[in-house]
Structure formats: C-alpha cells, structure tokens
C-alpha cells in the first residue's frame, strides 16, 4: 500500500514538473477547474473520455491535440462537458 502511494506521488510530481510545458490557454483553463497544480497534473495524466480515452499529456504533442485538450477543459469549466 505504501509503495503504491509513493508511486502515485512520484507520478504526480513528474506531471507537475511538466506543467511549465503546457501552453497558457490549457494551464489557465485547468486552473479554473482545479484548485492546485497537482489536480491539473493528475487530470492531464489520466485517460479522458472526451478525448476518446486518451491521456491529455500524450494528446498535447500536436497543435491539434493541444486545441482539443483546451476545448475539453473549457467545456468542463463551463459545465458543458459530456
């Protein structure tokens, strides 16, 4: 149990350090939903149904993917997510 918890913490810490690579639109939209960067980092590293169960960090490798992730976050922020 403790090993799994440590693994999850390390994963979130790695994701949080990646937030500086996230463009401002995605960061701002994410922070309007999550109260801490760790929450946004966790969301970005978890498969998202609205992205066809793909991980947002992986989707964001392309300009089109970054746009899709931003749109999903904005729809969540505005309460229009599916």
pLDDT tens figures, 53-75: 999 989 998 889 999 999 999 99
What's the rounded Cα separation, in Å, for the pair 78 and 53? 21
Residue 21's pLDDT is 67
Whether 82 is in a domain gets the answer: no
Q: Which tokens sit at 69?
A: 């992730």
Q: How many domains would you assign to the chain? A: 1
Other Cβ atoms less than 10 A from the Cβ of 16: the count is: 18
Phi, psi for 71 (deg, rounded to 5)? -65, -40
What predicted TM-score, i.e. pTM, was given to this entire model? 0.74
Where the chain has pLDDT below 70, the residues are 1, 15-21, 81-82
């Amino acid at each position: 149990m403790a090993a799994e918890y440590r693994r999850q913490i390390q994963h979130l810490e790695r994701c949080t350090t990646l937030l500086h690579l996230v463009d401002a639109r995605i960061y701002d939209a994410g922070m309007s939903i999550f109260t801490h960067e760790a929450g946004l980092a966790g969301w970005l590293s978890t498969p998202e149904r609205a992205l066809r169960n793909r991980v947002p960090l992986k989707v964001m490798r392309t300009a089109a993917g970054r746009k899709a992730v931003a749109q999903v976050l904005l729809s969540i922020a505005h309460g229009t997510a599916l």
